[in-house]
Structure 1
């Protein structure tokens, strides 16, 4: 067997059982919770050792306080085998005396500096590998709960975690703290990281600007998947959006072609209350939406979720020197927008029930578009669609609530299978435009004509339009 090519031995090893408790999971995706069956095969020969390491070192999860061991054990070919690295950042512990107090500004700054140093240490390690020519292209991930103090974990061991005033407020201690990249700590750029995944909507949240700060040190970044949380404090909420937008405007990501960006949003539970504004008072447009539009021009795939306004699709008349947008390479576009615009206006309306019949916490009645607010949003979108010559699929979606379900408009090019709406394989022979908007939300002529233009230049005039029943969580 020693005469067999290494690639063939690797393929043989891939047929072995690795984790007996995960028989249905592809071997390279398995994460063993019990002892792996692979290690004994590494003793057969040097080639079998390489085959086992090709599998076991392909994906690793490492804590920042384990980085020294990581450097020691991941050597030689193991570095080439590593294609996915999940990095958890451990922050300093804190004493019981502060359990009942929110973090001070000084504590927040200290945590951000520790967070940045941990990333700097990792980047410095990977830079050494890169300089030595011993690193493959790498998918770098900061997972959910990717940054935490060991002291935070006490919450997981408590039966009753209700805050106790003056004793322990648990996760409320850092509910409004956002970890950021500190300017006081520098780190090198890495050319071998084309994928960056950030799950920043954690108990300890990451500032959205973290994504841009890291991207600035990853010049060959091609795919990003970033999910960020939101503060309940309006000033912090607005600040985070503006900081992200400004950083995005100033950062070149010329090689990035696919982006999945989620800015945490909740379906409003009470439709009778005013919406919360996410822009400064008097702002004529949402800077985040505008910056995302400019960023998206060279993408091939874009998925977005959050609070957006029409400047996401078309420049506001108040934007200085804004040229007409175009998306020459965009193939896939999915936007899930909230019922509440960044300015705090509602995009949807409905018949408000009698106040005596309304619960203080739950009242959902907005189920069709408000022409005054939704039409400008849809008009901008329909204009943008006409500047996307190779678009094969778009989905514009808003979740209205448990009873009303989802408001959606979707387009599929010929050959694209619809997520829902197709009635037979013959539908896939033509362009399709599917509306799930309710009887009173049908788009006006200008908007409808713009939406019908999707794919027209590439595939011709024929298009199938269909109005569908609402999808809801209650079947």
Structure 2
């Protein structure tokens, strides 16, 4: 075995690993490392490339096993699941207390600090990605046994016996802002960071992601999944949102790729207006993201509530900015925004030909949730108790402002090659701009629900497209100027129905 060349050992390992994953996922690769030193080196390159840390004991094993430079050089990705304080069956029926929250904050900060202490003396020329989320062994999302999950769901049917995820719906884990260099040192070896602070585990304070990232001076790639949806406490939502926005500048200057899913769901009942989360009419998050993005190469925002300030400052028509924003490095932009504005408006309205009786009511959450049946704190929020879907027509003024703002910004993005703006919701529409081989193309896609399903015939599609939303002439003019600046030629414009 020792005489086999490394290339042949690698080929053999491909078959072993592939067969193990498909047919025998429980079989360990570790025994193969005892065949010879060459096999050991190749096996460790696989086994140490992806590190999964779920308990303090696993963290200790990680430090013990990866003390040699050779093994450290094998590591490509570390997934850290911070194990929070456990709680008993009785506690499942109660919200997390302030004392429990403080203890979990300390565990969260200490665990991340412990990992960073281990990594702090690793070589700076490594390229390691770190993935962070947090769970308690008592959390419903942490359960792996299907039987136990069913039991918990049955207990939760009475609402007050088991709150499931509602137990910590207002408890956002915080990474201490006062950690010293000794408690949490900087880590040059980490270049990628993902933090899951919403659906995949416990809620994490959005601003804490920035303070964690500030410990990583060579950080290049950031992906964040955060919650922006405090239904029962709008003041808390506003605080978390603005605190995150005002600390964005603490991200290391080395960050080039930034992905953010800042999830917020509009009211299920479209008769309700979404909350106004602006300050003096300006969305602070959108404005701060605009400033932050001016040092990026790639920007991706998903499932978020953003306004035109994301691209261009709120100004009166004709105003000239003294220092207009400039994105010298930005190549790709993707923004998928919710169908509401930060100022509390819908981007869609009722079709003029539709009556209130035509609106759909395909979800009734009040079934089994009658008044006085349960305490208000466990009832479904008022705006979500019935699903009323009737907003199908784009409000052109809102969309024109967003598209015009994006176009003005694109004029200040000399390296831009691709931009897409797409709404998230049951009615689809988008703007797509692409520069390729010296030519630029602008595609507007939108869906007209009143005209029936997708029509495969091209002539029919073109006729139908005439009735669909078309941007204001000012928007057209701005994007023509963008194309001329990027390619020296006029832009190719195409209107399409969604799905074409």
Q: TM-score range by the shorter chain?
A: 0.7 to 0.9
Gaps of 5+ in 2: 365-385, 448-466
Alignment check: 8 A CA contact 1:301 1:332 kept = yes
Q: Distance in 1 between matches of 2:277 and 2:54?
A: 35
- Look up the match of 1:117: 110
1:150 aligns with 2:120: no
1:168 aligns with 2:155: no
- Look up the match of 1:362: 387
Q: Distance in 1 between matches of 2:160 and 2:266?
A: 33
Q: Distance in 1 between matches of 2:190 and 2:270?
A: 44
Alpha-carbon distance change, 297 to 14 in structure 1, aligned in 2, over 3 angstroms:
farther
Residue 252 of structure 1, CA deviation: 4.6
**More displaced, 96-105 or 208-217?**
96-105
1:105 aligns with 2:95: no
- Look up the match of 2:472: 444
Alignment check: 8 A CA contact 2:155 2:161 kept = no
Residue 166 of structure 1, CA deviation: 4.8
Which of the numbers 83, 88, 102 marks the counterpart of 2:76? 83
- Look up the match of 2:439: 430
Give the 3-state SS of the residue equivalent to 2:248 in structure 1: helix
Q: Distance in 1 between matches of 2:251 and 2:160?
A: 47
1:191 aligns with 2:188: yes
1:270 aligns with 2:269: yes
- Look up the match of 2:126: 136
The CA RMSD over aligned residues, in Å, is 2.7
Number of residue equivalences = 437
Q: Distance in 1 between matches of 2:276 and 2:332?
A: 29
Q: Distance in 2 between matches of 1:135 and 1:379?
A: 43
Residue 47 of structure 1, CA deviation: 1.5
Q: Distance in 2 between matches of 1:137 and 1:44?
A: 29
Alignment check: 8 A CA contact 1:62 1:86 kept = yes
Gaps of 5+ in 1: 25-31, 416-428
Q: Distance in 2 between matches of 1:399 and 1:252?
A: 27
Query: 1:45-87: CA deviations, max 9, x gaps?
Result: 2121111111111111112422112112223121110111111
Q: Distance in 1 between matches of 2:20 and 2:156?
A: 35
Alignment check: 8 A CA contact 1:267 1:399 kept = no
Alignment check: 8 A CA contact 1:382 1:451 kept = yes
Q: Distance in 2 between matches of 1:323 and 1:265?
A: 32
Give the 3-state SS of the residue equivalent to 2:16 in structure 1: coil
Give the 3-state SS of the residue equivalent to 2:81 in structure 1: strand
TM-score w.r.t. length of structure 2: 0.81
**More displaced, 449-458 or 193-202?**
449-458
Give the 3-state SS of the residue equivalent to 2:189 in structure 1: coil
Give the 3-state SS of the residue equivalent to 2:441 in structure 1: strand
Residue 104 of structure 1, CA deviation: 1.8
Alignment check: 8 A CA contact 1:385 1:453 kept = no
Residue 455 of structure 1, CA deviation: 4.2
Give the 3-state SS of the residue equivalent to 1:373 in structure 2: helix
Q: Distance in 1 between matches of 2:5 and 2:211?
A: 43
1:68 aligns with 2:60: yes
1:59 aligns with 2:46: no
1:261 aligns with 2:260: yes
Q: Distance in 2 between matches of 1:252 and 1:99?
A: 37
Residue 453 of structure 1, CA deviation: 3.3
Alpha-carbon distance change, 331 to 440 in structure 1, aligned in 2, over 3 angstroms:
same
Q: Distance in 1 between matches of 2:218 and 2:482?
A: 31
Give the 3-state SS of the residue equivalent to 1:293 in structure 2: helix
Residue 310 of structure 1, CA deviation: 1.2
Give the 3-state SS of the residue equivalent to 2:301 in structure 1: strand
Residue 470 of structure 1, CA deviation: 1.9
**More displaced, 80-89 or 257-266?**
257-266
Alpha-carbon distance change, 109 to 163 in structure 1, aligned in 2, over 3 angstroms:
farther
Q: Distance in 1 between matches of 2:471 and 2:49?
A: 50
- Look up the match of 2:400: 375
- Look up the match of 1:29: none
Q: Distance in 2 between matches of 1:61 and 1:208?
A: 23
Alpha-carbon distance change, 322 to 457 in structure 1, aligned in 2, over 3 angstroms:
closer
What are the residue-to-residue correspondences of 1:221-240 with 2, within 5 Å? 221-230=219-228, 231-232=230-231, 233-240=233-240
